[in-house]
Amino acid sequence: MSDVLAFVDANLGRFRSELYDFLRIQSISAVQEHEGDMRRAAEWLADRMRDAGLKASIHETPGHPVVLGEWRGAGDDAPTVLIYGHYDVQPPEPLDEWISPPFEPTERNGKVFARGSADDKGQLYMHVKAIEAHMKAAGKLPVNVILLAEGEEEVGSENLVPFVKEHADRLACDHVVISDSNMFDEGLPSILFSLRGLAYFEIHVKGARSDLHSGQFGGTVTNPGNALSQIIASLHDADGKVAVEGFYDDVAVWDADVLEGIRNLPFDEEEYRKSLEVPALGGEKGYSALERLWVRPTCDVNGILCGYTGEGAKTVLPGKAMAKVSFRLVPDQSPEKVKELVEAHVRKVAPKGVTVDIEPLHGGRPWRTRPQGTLVEAASKALEEAFGVRPVLQGEGGSIPIVVDFEEQLNASALLVGFALPGCNLHAPNEWFELEAYEKGIRALCMLYENLGAGAAG
């Protein structure tokens, strides 16, 4: 094992510059025009997997390709680990808010700034490098490995579900390991016990045949902007609860020890408030910020389109309005049921005089686990060795839609161990990844595979 870690130390500079090559590829899954970049990223990744000693293959889907890297030389007695990550990134807009260009990785203050540095190319590539370190320094891996990288996580993973079903035999494994989340704080690694799910909609409101003069017609027809605002306002009550009937029916009650664990985490709400530069925190009454983030569902407007938003005043009565609205879900809510409840709610509250259509976008199921057993032991020990401090257990407010499908289809439990930091601007301008976390994390992953191969925390 010391050879493996020495290999990591000796090659850190190269590990960084290779990651920067990966980050230069504009693999934006949501934008059609970047289809070629998506393919280039998939091919680049497959080549690096080969360099690391894996057998790599690219699999077509109706959307962006899946990249698989495999090595099964540890034998039938050794466990098989499926590692999952994604090579697609979110669009970088608004571009003028980036201090350095999003696809030109730039180091500042011990961090690398680039779109995808944290979510998820940096974290995915850490696994490629940990695998390479074992293969080059020891000639083998302590476990059998399947490395699956998808190109559609940021757009809902729709084509990955059928891919996993279709290739369930090939993907059969004992453990699933995913690094696409945060550490709890700088220097404090964590293991996740939950992820929220998602139900995402577009609400389209249509009024008169076209925009109208707001003086000539105002007062005679329902304004789609007013109607949409009314619909949006109806989604919450005065206590910040989601006011959709039946919405909380399936919200699970959490065990007292998990809630106790959350209360005991080193978290200061006032500092959190300051870091976000808001005059006060918001959300549902009666819960702490971490509870609101991890164990409570939410509803948020993600975008609104309506009327005149250019310079100066234009007295116009818009002909239509649209809002993107999403719900973060917690166990045991389901996106399908929430869709029905939201449709019924909007039908009920929509004012007369406009037509309202709801178009469902993507969704994902919430996930939770009781972190325990070999997998978690192996990870805790590896993280403690690499970071010098025992990891904490935490929930997560974001979503990784495929996790539940992996567990169901492959009958294996998932370990979520991430290395980004809470303030690292995921999906926002100036996304960054801490270089120290990159390096210590690669060492931790080397030790994780080792511990899993040794059969237990050992």
Binding site for ligand BES (CB under 6 A): 119-120, 153-154, 156, 180-182, 198, 362, 364, 396, 398-401, 426
Tell me how far, at minimum, the Cβ of 187 lies from ligand BES, in Å: 18
User: Strands 392-394 and 190-192, how do they pair?
Assistant: parallel
Which C-beta is closer to Zn ion: that of 88 or that of 132?
88
Residue 37 partner contact from ligand BES, Zn ion, none using kind-dependent CB cut-offs of 5 to 8 Å: none
Which stretch in 112-120, 218-226, 270-278, 358-366 sits in contact with Zn ion by CB under 5 A?
A: 112-120
Cβ closest to Zn ion, residue 157 vs residue 288:
157
Least separation in angstroms between residue 182's CB and ligand BES is 5
By C-beta, is 206 or 427 nearer to Zn ion? 427
Residues from 189 through 228 that contact Zn ion (CB under 5 A) = none
Structure tokens, 325: 């609205």
- Residue 198 near which of ligand BES, Zn ion, none (CB within 5-8 Å, type-dependent): ligand BES
The entry of ligand BES, Zn ion, none near residue 401 (CB within 5 to 8 angstroms by kind) is: ligand BES
**Cβ proximity to ligand BES, 159 vs 399, nearer residue:** 399
Residue from 70, 88, 119, 439 in contact with Zn ion (CB under 5 A): 119
Q: Residue 419 and residue 440: Cα distance in Å, rounded? A: 9
Nearer to ligand BES, 364 or 391 (CB): 364
Of ligand BES, Zn ion, none, which one sits near residue 181, judging by CB under 5 to 8 A according to partner kind?
ligand BES
Residue 152 CB, nearest approach to Zn ion (Å): 11
Q: Which does 102 bind (CB under 5 to 8 A by kind): Zn ion, ligand BES, none?
A: none
Which residue number, 115 or 134, has a Cβ lying nearer to ligand BES? 115
* Residue 174 binds to Zn ion (criterion: CB under 5 A): no
What is the number of the residue whose Cβ is closest to Zn ion?
A: 119
Tell me the closest approach of the beta carbon of residue 154 to ligand BES, in angstroms. Answer: 5
Cα 80 to chain centroid distance, Å, stands at: 24
174 binds, among ligand BES, Zn ion, none (CB under 5 to 8 A by kind): none
Q: How far is the CB of 112 from ligand BES (least distance, A)?
A: 17
Nearest distance from residue 408's CB to ligand BES, in Å? 17
Least CB distance to Zn ion at residue 119 (A): 4
Where does this chain bind Zn ion (CB under 5 A)? Answer: 119
